[in-house]
Each structure stands twice: as structure tokens, then as C-alpha cells.
């Protein structure tokens, strides 16, 4: 990674400027003391646009200086109310100037900044006291400026930089800011953040985003510490990270490291573009992110605990990252937050493994997994998420592929949330135990090609809920004691719901709704449900076969807007009403009806008279089975078919004839 030098040159050049200021104001002291208001002059807001405007106002106001490096303009000793506009604002200037020893206040309610720079270079902001503003000091699209020895307090953002290269933020004191003390938003390349004291307990003390070759050293933080992130390895990097502490404890920062093993006492863990790293046996608490892993490969974090962090573990980019035997609790937002990075031609991250870990009592989701491929969550315990946001799911997967969630125990889901939400193609949810609350046990949306199998989902409004997903399988699940065991709806086609036990639900065992088509519901047991064993509404071309529906209010029910469905070889036994049919052009045949009263004169196992089916369709089963254990005889071929081989493009036909 490149190491910058220009910020160091800028920082050294400031010594010359400071010497000039020292001659003009011999009472100036270094350090972070908060000055008194003695000698301050009340002044209206100051707004300067361009070098000519600066010269004009300097002449009119009597500001000393000539705007040069050796004799900068100086605006100093003012007391400014920022309730109607930014206290002191500059735009489109290149002259040298200093703003020093000013007190600016009361811009918070109207989102005003104390001091703001827009497209400005060569400014020195020195020993100002900015309080109760939206942003204390704000630099936007402004390069080669310095912010030194200021006090910024009781604002939303203390010192905020956005697209501000070659900036120096040095020896400032920041306190009681609700969002962030020092914030580098993006493209603040080659900047130096050093010797600052950050006392606020807001979202973070120092945030660095998408900025290259930043020097971060000798900062003393007494709140939630650091938030460092870049979306793409090309967009960010720390060249010098040294002697930064949070509440007196050092930060473990590893950049471009390879092959190391780390443990010990640290306030935060930050891994950036590392390979083959093992971090273990570390406990962190009450910081913005307990563990940050940026674009690392073949990295293991083992037996690490995070408590009361904004996010317990943050993952972005990289390949083959493992979290093992971790305990992540009481995160304000997310326990584990894993996301992809943007950039044309970039590979999406893959190979995340979260195993043998416990996540509990998060404010939002226990896990957010976005965009990543090949993620596995295995043998972990997840409970009591969404404490502050009741509609956030415990495990939330979106825009991903090839995700596996297996053999986990999940409970304590909030009433409007899902234990597992999957928006990922070609994925697997299997062998999980999901219980104790939540609107959904497992929720699939846009999850084409995914399989939900061998899960135990109980105590939810919906055990398994599938929406707008094609070619999925819901198989071998225990979905009992929910309102609905399995629900399929929306633009869902070629889905298979098979071998599930959906019993003792307060609503329905299996429910098909809303334009779902060409789906198969087979070999399920739907017993003792208060509503229907299986109910279909708004469904076409479904196959409902070989299911057992016993002890329900209605065994199988087809609504008025069901068409061209096939219902056969089902056992409909001892339901209040074994079947109900209000649809059109549905085929209902060869089912066992426990209330069938006909006879079987020839002993072929099929009743001699049709079984009438209640409902407005006026239909009947022409071949009702006499026994629930009836096994049909296989048909025999009139002419046994033989294998044939054809060339691509040849036309061929086959006449198929069987005995009935």
C-alpha cells in the first residue's frame, strides 16, 4: 500500500505559520485548554465566497494579513451566533488565512455549522471554541487545510471532513457530541489525524471511510472508539496507525499483515487486508465495532467476546474468514454484519464461516449477511434479537447466493420478525431448531433454487413461509404448533413441499396462495389443525398427492380461484369435512375418504361409485379408495419400450400404450 508524504509536508509547513501567529498573539498557548470569553467581540455571521470577496471583506473589517503564506489573513477573537446561518463560512478560496480564538454557538437546531469550508485550500483553523452546532467544523471538497487546537462540543458532529485531501486534524478536544467527534467521510486521502482527545459517547469517536493513506496516531478516545471502513481495497487504507487508545486500552490494528497469531488485552480489533491471521482470546466491550475485518483472506477469529458494541463483528470483502467459538451479546445494532463491496469487475466475497458461536440480545438482527457467497452459519445459538427493532429478523440474508444455515438453535424471535430470512439463491437451511415466537420461523423471498429441510419450526405465525421463489424445496420439516405450518405464495413456481409434518396448528397445515403455480405438495402429514390440512387459493397446475390429512376442520380445500390442479392418492380421514371444492377444472381422484359410504364389488380397492365433494364446484372423486393403506398396482406395458439413440436434430416419435 502506498505511503503518503504530502500530509507530513503540510504538517511541517504549519510550524512556520504558527510562528507567524505566535508573534501576532504572544498570549497563544499550545494544548487543549478551553479559553475564556474575555476579549471576544460579538459579530454577525461571516460568509466569504472567492479570493476577491475575501480581500474586500478583509479591508472593510480591518482583518490583518495579506493572504500569503508568510502573512495570512487573520479572523480572530469573535463571538458568533450561528442560529440562522453557518457561523463562519468560506467557499472557493485559495488565499492563506487563519481563523483563531473565535467562539461560535447555537447552530444545532437549524443544522448549521460553526465553521465551514467548501472548495477551500490553505486554511488554518486554530484554537476556536465551537459548541451546540450541527457540525462544529466542516470541510467539504477542500484540500490542504489544517484544524488544530480547537474545542468542538455539544454538537452532532465535532469535526467533519468530506472529500478533503491532505488535511491535518491535530490536538483538538471534542466532547459531548452526539454522533461523531472526528469524521472522514470519503476521499480524505493523505490526511493526518493525530493527538486528539475525543471524550464523546455518541456513535463513534473517530470514523474513517473510503480514504487512502491516512495517518492515525496518538489519539485518546473515551467513548465508542473507531469506525474504520472502506468498500473496496482501492478506496482506503491506513499508512500509520500507532498509539491510539480507547479508555486507556490500546487498539489492535493489523494492516497488510500475514501469518501472525494475536491475543491479549485490546479495546478494539481491526484487521485490514490481512492474510492467514489468527486472532483469539480477546474480550472487547462498549465500542462501535468490536471486531472489524476488511478484505482479509484465510483469517480466523476464535474465542473472541464482544459485549454492548454497536456491531459485534463487521465483515466486508475477503475470502475464507472464520468466526469460531465467539460470544457476541448486547450489540446495539447487529451481532455480525457481513457485506460485500462495490466495484466493477470485483469478485464477491465468499467462504465466510460462523460456527459454534452464540449471539444474543441484539438491538436489530443477530446476523446481517448481504451479498456474500458461500456463507455458512453452523451449530450456533441465536436468541433474543430485535430488542429495539421488533421487525428485524434474527438471521437476515439478502442479495446473496450459496448460503448454508444449518444445525443452529434459534429462539426468542420478536413478533413481527423471522428467525431466518433468506433472500439468496441456491442456498440451504437445514437441521435448525427454531422456536419460541416470531412471525416466521423460516422466510424465503426471491430464493430460487434453495432448500429448507429437516428443520423444527414451532411457535410462529408461519413455520416456513415461501414467497416469490422458484424451484425451491421444503422437505422433511417439523412445522407443528404454528398458525400455518407452511405457506407458499406469490410468483412461486416449480416448488416442492414434501415429507413435512404440519400438525396441531391453530390455522392450516399447508397453505398455497396468490398466483403460485406448477408446484407439488406431496407426502406430507397435516393432522389435528384447527383449520385446513391443506388449503389452496389462487393456485394453478399444482399437484397435491399422497398427503395424510387427519383430524382437521377440512382435510383439503380448493378455493374458488383454483384451476387445473390435481389432487390424488391423499388420505382424508376423520376431518370435520374431508374435502371442499369451489374451484374449476381441477382433477380430484383416487383419494381415500373416511366418510365414503360406497362399496367395492370387485375387490380392486376402488369404490364402485363416485364420492361427492362438498362445495360450489359440484365435483366428485370418481375413484375413491377403500383403504388408507391401498397401494395401486403398477400398470403394465403393452409393448415394452427399449432404449433408443438419436442424433441431435433428428425427428422422432413414440406411441405409448398401457393397460389401465
- Of 438, 553, 454, 445, nearest to 505 by C-alpha is 553
- Of 113, 164, 114, nearest to 141 by C-alpha is 164
Question: pLDDT value at position 34?
Answer: 37
pTM of the model: 0.88
CA dihedral 616, 620, 624, 629 (to 10 degrees): -20
Question: pLDDT value at position 8?
Answer: 47
CA angle 96, 150, 25 (to 5 degrees): 60
Q: What are phi and psi of 22, to 5 degrees?
A: -60, -40
Displacement of CA 519 from its chain's centroid (Å): 31
Q: What are phi and psi of 301, to 5 degrees?
A: -115, 115
Question: pLDDT value at position 1?
Answer: 38
Which triple of cell numbers denotes residue 384? Answer: 433474543
Question: pLDDT value at position 348?
Answer: 62
Which triple of cell numbers denotes residue 584? Answer: 374449476
Which triple of cell numbers denotes residue 293? Answer: 475485518
Which triple of cell numbers denotes residue 152? Answer: 468542538
Question: pLDDT value at position 244?
Answer: 98
Taking the CA atoms of the chain, what radius of gyration do you get in angstroms?
Answer: 34
Can you tell me the distance from the alpha carbon of 94 to that of 3, in angstroms, rounded to the nearest whole number? Answer: 26
pLDDT less than 70: residues of the chain: 1-38, 341-349, 631-660
Question: pLDDT value at position 659?
Answer: 46
- Of 350, 353, 311, nearest to 328 by C-alpha is 311
Q: What are phi and psi of 294, to 5 degrees?
A: -115, 115
- Of 445, 526, 443, nearest to 479 by C-alpha is 526
Question: pLDDT value at position 653?
Answer: 53
Q: Please give the DSSP secondary-structure letter assigned to residue 6.
A: H
Question: pLDDT value at position 39?
Answer: 75
Can you tell me the distance from the alpha carbon of 205 to that of 326, in angstroms, rounded to the nearest whole number? Answer: 25
CA angle 111, 116, 117 (to 5 degrees): 145
Q: Please give the DSSP secondary-structure letter assigned to residue 143.
A: -
Name the fold adopted by 6-242: Pectate Lyase C-like (2.160.20)
Question: pLDDT value at position 19?
Answer: 41
Question: pLDDT value at position 376?
Answer: 96
Q: How far apart are the first and last CA of the chain?
A: 76
Question: pLDDT value at position 108?
Answer: 95
Site of grid cell 443477530? 366
Question: pLDDT value at position 645?
Answer: 56
Question: pLDDT value at position 20?
Answer: 40
Q: Are 170 and 15 in contact (CB under 8 A)?
A: no
Task: Provide the 10 A C-beta neighbour count for residue 314.
Answer: 24
Amino acid at each position: 500500500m502506498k505511503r503518503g508524504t504530502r500530509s507530513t509536508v503540510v504538517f511541517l509547513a504549519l510550524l512556520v505559520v504558527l510562528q507567524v501567529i505566535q508573534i501576532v498573539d504572544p498570549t497563544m498557548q499550545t494544548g487543549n485548554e478551553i479559553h475564556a470569553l474575555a476579549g471576544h467581540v460579538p459579530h454577525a455571521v461571516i460568509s466569504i465566497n472567492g479570493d476577491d470577496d475575501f480581500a474586500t471583506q478583509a479591508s472593510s473589517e480591518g482583518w490583518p494579513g495579506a493572504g500569503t503564506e508568510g502573512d495570512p489573513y487573520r479572523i480572530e477573537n469573535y463571538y458568533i451566533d450561528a442560529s440562522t446561518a453557518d457561523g463562519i463560512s468560506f467557499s472557493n478560496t485559495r488565499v492563506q488565512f487563519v481563523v483563531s480564538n473565535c467562539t461560535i454557538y447555537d447552530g444545532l437546531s437549524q443544522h448549521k455549522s460553526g465553521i465551514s469550508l467548501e472548495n477551500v485550500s490553505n486554511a488554518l483553523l486554530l484554537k476556536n471554541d465551537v459548541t451546540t452546532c450541527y457540525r462544529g467544523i466542516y470541510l467539504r471538497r477542500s484540500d490542504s487545510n489544517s484544524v488544530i487546537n480547537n474545542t468542538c462540543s455539544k454538537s452532532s458532529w465535532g469535526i467533519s471532513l468530506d472529500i478533503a485531501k491532505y488535511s491535518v486534524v491535530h490536538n483538538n478536544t471534542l466532547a459531548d457530541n452526539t454522533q461523531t467527534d472526528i469524521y472522514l467521510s470519503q476521499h480524505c486521502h493523505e490526511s493526518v489525524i493525530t493527538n486528539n482527545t475525543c471524550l464523546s459517547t455518541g456513535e463513534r469517536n473517530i470514523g474513517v471511510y473510503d480514504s487512502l493513506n491516512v495517518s492515525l496516531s496518538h489519539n485518546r478516545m473515551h467513548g465508542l472508539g473507531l469506525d474504520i471502513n472502506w468498500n473496496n481495497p482501492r478506496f482506503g487504507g491506513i499508512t500509520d496507525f500507532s498509539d491510539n487508545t480507547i479508555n486507556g486500552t490500546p487498539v489492535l490494528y493489523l494492516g497488510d499483515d500475514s501469518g501472525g497469531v494475536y491475543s491479549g488485552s485490546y479495546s478494539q480489533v481491526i484487521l485490514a487486508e490481512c492474510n492467514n491471521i489468527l486472532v483469539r482470546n480477546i474480550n472487547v466491550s462498549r465500542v462501535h465495532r468490536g471486531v472489524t475485518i476488511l478484505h482479509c483472506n484465510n483469517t480466523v477469529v476464535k474465542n473472541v467476546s464482544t459485549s454492548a458494541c454497536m456491531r459485534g463483528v463487521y465483515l466486508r470483502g475477503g475470502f475464507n474468514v472464520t468466526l469460531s467459538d465467539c460470544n457476541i451479546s448486547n450489540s446495539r445494532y447487529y451481532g455480525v454484519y457481513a457485506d460485500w463491496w462495490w466495484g466493477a469487475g470485483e469478485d464477491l466475497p465468499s467462504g465466510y464461516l460462523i460456527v459454534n458461536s452464540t449471539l444474543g440480545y441484539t438491538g436489530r438482527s443477530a446476523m446481517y449477511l448481504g451479498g456474500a457467497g458461500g456463507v455458512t452459519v453452523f451449530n450456533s445459538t441465536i436468541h433474543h434479537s430485535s430488542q429495539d427493532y421488533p421487525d428485524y429478523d434474527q438471521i437476515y440474508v439478502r442479495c446473496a447466493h450459496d448460503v448454508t444455515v444449518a444445525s443452529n438453535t434459534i429462539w426468542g424471535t420478536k413478533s413481527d420478525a423471522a428467525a431466518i430470512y433468506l433472500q439468496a439463491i441456491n442456498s440451504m437451511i437445514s437441521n435448525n431448531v427454531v422456536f419460541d415466537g416470531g412471525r416466521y420461523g423460516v422466510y424465503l423471498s426471491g430464493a430460487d433454487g434453495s432448500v429448507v429441510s429437516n428443520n423444527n419450526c414451532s411457535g410462529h405465525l408461519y413455520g416456513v413461509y415461501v414467497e416469490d421463489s422458484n424451484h425451491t424445496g421444503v422437505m422433511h420439516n417439523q412445522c407443528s404448533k404454528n398458525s400455518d405450518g407452511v405457506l407458499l405464495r406469490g410468483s412461486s413456481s416449480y416448488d416442492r413441499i414434501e415429507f413435512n409434518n404440519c400438525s396441531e396448528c391453530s390455522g392450516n397445515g399447508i397453505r398455497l396462495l396468490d398466483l403460485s403455480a406448477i408446484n407439488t405438495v406431496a407426502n406430507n402429514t397435516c393432522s389435528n389443525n384447527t383449520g385446513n390440512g391443506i388449503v389452496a387459493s389462487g393456485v394453478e397446475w399444482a399437484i397435491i398427492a399422497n398427503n395424510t390429512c387427519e383430524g382437521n376442520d377440512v382435510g383439503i380445500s380448493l378455493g374458488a380461484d383454483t384451476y387445473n390442479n390435481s389432487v390424488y392418492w391423499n388420505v382424508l380421514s376423520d376431518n370435520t369435512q374431508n374435502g371442499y371444492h369451489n374451484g374449476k377444472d381441477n382433477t380430484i381422484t383416487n383419494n381415500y375418504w373416511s366418510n365414503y359410504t360406497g362399496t367395492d364389488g370387485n375387490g380392486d380397492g376402488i369404490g364402485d361409485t363416485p364420492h361427492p365433494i362438498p362445495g360450489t364446484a359440484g365435483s366428485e372423486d370418481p375413484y375413491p379408495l377403500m383403504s388408507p393403506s391401498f397401494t395401486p398396482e403398477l400398470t403394465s406395458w403393452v409393448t415394452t419400450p427399449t432404449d433408443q439413440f438419436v442424433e441431435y436434430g433428428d425427428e422422432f416419435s413414440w406411441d405409448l400404450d398401457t393397460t389401465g
